[in-house]
Structure 1
Amino acid sequence: EAQANAGTRIYSQSDLQVGDLVIFYGDQHHVGFYAGGGQVLHAPHTGAFVRYEAIGNMPFQFGVRI
């Protein structure tokens, strides 16, 4: 959650750039990296392998550019 306040917020998915943090869920408990092409790099849960996933598979809140 602290990462959500670390940089400049980006509210439009179309403005995301590769490497931006992507914040999901209303309580901001999940963070990934924008990988471009509508893909996010993230670990879906504790113990899971890091993987690419479509950004639309989770409730996008905003991005953060550090």
Structure 2
Amino acid sequence: MLNFNFYNPTHIVFGKDTLDQLNTLVPLNAKVLVTYGGGSVKKFGTLENVIKNLPGREIFEFGGIEPNP
């Protein structure tokens, strides 16, 4: 195995109406990967709200992720 250093800072914003902050938190030139499991993210409009709050970004979806038991 090759030696390496991996640095992965994470900024978590949690709470009511925090999706409205996405536009200021995600750089304009970002490529965004939205991952999700089942259909509830679409059923409740969460995915649509995320995409709406990220105008001008290149957005990719990866759905159908199975839960880790």
State the TM-score bracket (shorter-chain normalisation). Answer: under 0.3
TM-score normalised per structure 1: 0.22
Higher relative helix content: 2
Question: Which has more strand, going by share of residues?
Answer: 1
Larger radius of gyration: 2
TM-score by length of 2: 0.21
